[in-house]
């Protein structure tokens, strides 16, 4: 699958959040904090916990990218 020039520009550039977008980013951040605290509380330190933290952060990052790149979809 190839992407269009427009999609490259959309992915590469900064997207300032609208007031609604800023609120959605804050909700995602709050949810990540709760989830990461649960991971820390309920799993032993080690590789698995580290990967859980990394993947939780990655999921939040992609969710935030979705909000930033597509503000009109919600």
Quick one: CA torsion of 51, 38, 31, 48, rounded to 10 degrees?
Answer: 10
pLDDT tens per residue across span 2-24: 999 999 999 999 988 888 999 99
Integer angstrom CA distances of residue 13 from 30, 69, 71: 25, 9, 14
Taking the C-alpha atoms of residue 33 and residue 6, their distance in angstroms, rounded to an integer, is 34
Integer angstrom CA distances of residue 27 from 7, 14, 63: 26, 20, 11
pLDDT tens per residue across span 27-71: 999 999 999 999 999 999 999 999 999 999 999 999 999 999 887
């Amino acid at each position: 699958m190839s992407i269009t020039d427009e999609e490259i520009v959309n992915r590469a550039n900064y997207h300032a959040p609208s007031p609604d977008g800023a609120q959605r980013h804050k909700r995602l951040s709050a949810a990540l904090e709760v989830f990461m605290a649960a991971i820390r509380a309920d799993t032993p330190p080690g590789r698995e916990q580290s990967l859980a933290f990394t993947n939780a952060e990655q999921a939040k990052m992609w969710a935030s990218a979705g909000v930033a790149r597509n503000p009109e979809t919600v």
